[in-house]
Chains A and B, each alone.
Chain A
Amino acid sequence: AQKVTQAQTEISVVEKEDVTLDCVYETRDTTYYLFWYKQPPSGELVFLIRRNSFDEQNEISGRYSWNFQKSTSSFNFTITASQVVDSAVYFCALSEAEGSYIPTFGRGTSLIVHP
């Protein structure tokens, strides 16, 4: 069975601080996909990134970066120089590459960025 754990329920930072959101997963599959989604106060989840299990390269997109480490089953998300607009709930998710493709979501981490 798949499992995604986001141990941080809520994180509060002041603008311009760096912040890392943790995601730890469990799966028996050798081929799988990991995702991050952002849910702003408006409610709609927005896709941020997808990473497959064979690609452990870190990725950077502007102020966002992702660190995928299979050795520790983690897919952490870092926001550099946080801004108030980054305030949202962030979800990590895992899906199999074959068979049931239905993703398993973590419980989410609420990030609050204070001005």
Chain B
Amino acid sequence: DGGITQSPKYLFRKEGQNVTLSCEQNLNHDAMYWYRQDPGQGLRLIYYSQIVNDFQKGDIAEGYSVSREKKESFPLTVTSAQKNPTAFYLCASSIIQGGNEQFFGPGTRLTVL
């Protein structure tokens, strides 16, 4: 089955700790994305990547970091610099071409205590 996996589904961390969210896809898509979803805020783009070893900041990149060492993987690290990290995080992938839909993972709900 082709798709996107995110792990874990729920994650709890203490304030001040860095945490890494996993995202893996087997759709052979070049582009991958990370979104943050807060109630009533819709989807806000954190980072995206179009090719291995390259990525671009989205609208709310501060306090986050990413890597793209493999085409299939695009992990997101929520650093201690992120002032309000508690949120639902969604990973997506797509073909690089205008008009192509995105495929989303099941999301990770991060709660910082």
Contact = CB atoms under 8 A, between A and B. Distances in A.
Interface of A: 9, 31, 33, 35, 37, 42-47, 50, 52, 91, 95-99, 101-103, 105-108
Scoring A52, A95, A101, A106 by chain B CB atoms within 10 A of each residue's CB, the highest score goes to A101
Contacts of A31: 98
A45 B48 CA distance: 17
Interface string B20-49: 000000000000010000001111010010
A47 B95 CA distance: 14
Interface string B74-113: 0000000000000010101000111111111111010000
Contacts of A106: 42
Given A33-B98, A44-B104, A99-B98, 13 more contacts: A43-B88, A43-B90, A43-B107, A45-B90, A45-B92, A45-B102, A47-B103, A50-B99, A97-B98, A103-B102, A107-B40, A108-B42, A108-B43
Q: What is the predominant secondary structure among interface residues of chain A facing chain B?
A: loop
A30 B67 CA distance: 35
Which of A31, A52, A108 has most chain B Cβ within 10 Å? Answer: A108
A109 to B, nearest CB: 10
Most chain-B CB neighbours within 10 Å: which of A33, A42, A98, A103?
Answer: A103
